[in-house]
A and B are shown apart, each in its own frame.
Chain A
Amino acid sequence: MPVAENRLIFKNIDRDGFTNDIDCYLKNDGYKMLKKALGMKSPDIVSEVKTSGLRGRGGAGFSCGAKWSFIDPTKNTKPVYLICNADESEPGTFKDKQIIYKDPHQLLEGMAISCYANNAHLAYIYIRCEFTEGTKILERAIAEAKAKNFLGKNICGSGYDLEIYVHRGAGAYICGEETGLIESLEGKRPYPRIKPPYFPAVLGLYMSPTIVNNVETLCAVKHIVDMGGANYAKLGKPNNTGTRMLCVSGDVNKPGYFEFEVGKITIGELINDVCGGIKGGRKLKALIPGGSSAKVMKAGDRYKIKQKQADGSVQEIEMGLLDLPIDFDTLAAAGSMAGSGGVIVMDDSRDMVQCLANIATFYAHESCGQCTPCREGSLWMKKITTRLAEGNGHPNDIPLLKNVADNIAGRTICAFGEACAWPVQSFIAKFPEEFVAHSTSTAPKKEEPAAAAH
């Protein structure tokens, strides 16, 4: 029996008869939570979000309430800005797109509540420019909301003003990194800033306190106001509260996006029950659980996970890959991460070296070039993995590749360094025999291998 979805944010998405215009949204209780929030005191909303235990849905899983509480509106002399990170570009992730295209007003409502809570009067939605249709949908939704006084001056007679604008990116993955995003929004190259001192909460957009939240996180805020922080925290598991979107792609029969309570579904249930198993009756070989930056996990692996019991004691339990519940803490304990919720599944016919070469090519293309280890290392990793995949590897390639990767992680300004090193390190660690086979040239040489092109 498949685990049932719990659709909070996706409640109306793909529902028959639901459209993305404001009339339909209002018919479905739209903007009621904004009105409720405007009747509350700002610090009370922040404390509800803290109580809810909501963790950022963009990839890092940082506590949203903690992020907000770094900003104290009473002590600020500078204006506070809020930015919605809609630069969804982590390979394997396609959840924010569904919200933007199918339920844009939910995002606007969540943003308006979050802006009110943090006393921000100017907010931007940083959307990746490939969402051309999505940009138009959001622009239209903003105009509709302004016409009905849910945005603009004196919202719903509360005396609170807020302007939201859409800002298009230009095809660069690094703009998903919050300080890179801020630089980009300031009209510069998106070179991430060094932290400290440039924490967005202190020195963000225009050197003012800035909150950068993912689309899904901001939508969750609406539901926290609806249910109350304590009730929201009852969903999911302690420290992994609420619901979250999971996107499954790759070699499964029914790929797609789903919303489950965090930690209430295991990897096996997701792949076999929800997604109809592996395509073509094949077997699972590997999966990447949280976007391509997450470390790869191998079918058949067993993990020792420490679990908190009902009586408060901690017990170590051994679990197979398919038994792991999908939540932040368990996947971190298993040596990978829940990341952005993008699960990429690979069946037993896949060549892991080619898969890694594909990922390495992505990171080589997307490195911003600011830090030497990442700029040079990502290109080296692409070059080495590609020649291995082509069957032109050198016997020394595996230690060389590992050496390059080990010298990137932890030596860069932003987390991109880890994001490009982790796949390489984990693929080599989990599938050494395939790399050895390629480096000793027993693999057939190919003229133009799939993973080698641009």
Chain B
Amino acid sequence: MTERTLTPVAIPGTQTISPDKVYPGAVHEGHAPVLLPNGFDAQADDLISRYPVSKRSASLPLLHLWQETFGYISPEGIEWIAAKLSLQPINILELVTFYPWFRQHPVGKVHIRVCRTLSCALGGAYELRDHVAKKCNTGQPDHHGLALSEDGKYSVEFVECLAACGTAPVMMINDDFYENITHQGADDLLAKYPV
């Protein structure tokens, strides 16, 4: 019988971020061990306490916490969350690969999500995406549709309906939501996000 280990598989392009440089999209050379920032464990426990019946329910909240802290879900993150919830890593990995919000690779320091769906498309979402991508100098989208600039500062992607169809086109910059975006408006907004 073959012995199975739970050693994380190294995925090309993923690096671990050390806690003193925790910002979205940070790319750190080498594979330093994951040190959790102060209070991370307590925050995780608080999230788990919201699900008195089954702590497995906390897997999405913990994935959100990990991604907000480290910028993306690394193999170490999957292992840590699985151990925390007494699950197998596959139970967490299958969520990361299913839900579009979670990612296994860093994105740009400024991450732009442009809504693609019908009302926004009627309002010029494709032109807006092209304009923003050009402005941020991003390359070709990868197979997930994410286009990253060469310096890693910007990333642009299309997302599906963001529930603000009456003020199309709309987009998100990092966690902030913006509506009725003209091309000039997009330029002005981007200027507010230093890289």
Contacts and interface: CB of A to CB of B under 8 A. Distances in A.
B119 A249 contact: yes
B107 interface: no
A21 B38 CA distance: 31
A130 B145 CA distance: 18
A359 B118 contact: yes
B109 interface: no
B142 to A, nearest CB: 10
B36 interface: no
8 contacts: A93-B165, A94-B165, A132-B176, A167-B60, A206-B54, A247-B166, A342-B165, A344-B119
A1 interface: no
A171 B100 contact: yes
Contacts of A187: 54, 56-60, 85, 91, 95
Interface stretch (A56-64, A316-324, A446-454): A446-454
A133 interface: yes
Chain B interface size, under 10 / 10 to 19 / 20 to 34 / 35 or more: 35 or more
Nearest to A366: B160
A332 to B, nearest CB: 22
Q: Chain A contact residues: over half helix, strand or loop, or mixed? A: mixed
Task: Choose among B91, B98, B168, B176 the residue with the greatest number of A CB atoms under 10 Å from its CB.
Answer: B98
A206 B158 CA distance: 35
A97 B117 CA distance: 17
Interface residues of A, number: 59
Contacts of B167: 255
A187 B119 CA distance: 32
A206 B53 contact: yes
A90 B119 CA distance: 11
Q: Chain B contact residues: over half helix, strand or loop, or mixed? A: mixed
B163 interface: yes
B64 A129 contact: yes
A93 B122 contact: no
A358 B99 CA distance: 21
Interface in B54-113: 54, 56-61, 63-64, 85, 91, 94-95, 98-102, 113
A133 B179 CA distance: 14
Task: Choose among B64, B121, B177 the residue with the greatest number of A CB atoms under 10 Å from its CB.
Answer: B121
Task: Choose among A185, A358, A368 the residue with the greatest number of B CB atoms under 10 Å from its CB.
Answer: A358
B100 A91 contact: no
B162 A170 contact: no
Contact of A122 (B52, B161, B176): B52
Interface in A89-114: 89-94, 96-97
Contact of A93 (B58, B116, B163, B177): B163
Given A129-B64, A342-B165, A350 B122 contact: yes
Contacts of B59: 187
Contact of B101 (A92, A170, A247, A248): A170
Contacts of B99: 169-172
B53 to A, nearest CB: 5
A77 B107 CA distance: 48
Nearest to A170: B99
Interface in B29-59: 50-54, 56-59
B186 interface: no
Contacts of B54: 186-187, 206
Contacts of A443: none
A257 B160 CA distance: 20
B160 A365 contact: yes
B166 A248 contact: yes
B189 to A, nearest CB: 16
B163 A128 contact: yes
Contact of B160 (A89, A131, A188): A89
Contacts of A170: 60, 63-64, 95, 99-102
A362 B160 contact: yes
